[in-house]
Amino acid sequence: KLLLHRKQLDRLIGAVQREGRTLIPTRLYWNDKGLAKLELALAKGKKLHDKRETTAERDWQRDKARLLRDKG
C-alpha cells in the first residue's frame, strides 16, 4: 500500500511515462511491526555522449592496467 497523496502519485507516474525517468529505491526502513518504509528517487538516464565518455574511460583504465602488468 502506497502512502502517497493522489497528486504525488500522478506526478511520479507522469515523470516515468512522459519524461522517461526511472523510480529508484534509495533507502529501506523496517519498523517494530515488521512493516517496510521505502524512500524513492526519480532518476534520469545518461545521454549518449556521457555513455561514450564512460566507455572510453573504462577501456583506457583496462588498457593501462594491462600495459603496466605486462611491463612490470
Output the CA torsion sign for 42, 21, 30, 7: positive
- In whole angstroms, what is the distance from residue 46 CA to residue 58 CA? 16
1 in a domain, yes or no? no
Residue-wise pLDDT for 6-25, tens only, equals 999 999 999 999 888 999 99
Residue-wise pLDDT for 34-71, tens only, equals 889 899 999 988 888 888 999 999 999 999 999 999 88
Tell me the residue range of the domain where 23 lies: 6-71
Element (H, E) at 11: helix 6-17
37 in a domain, yes or no? yes
40 in a domain, yes or no? yes
31 in a domain, yes or no? yes
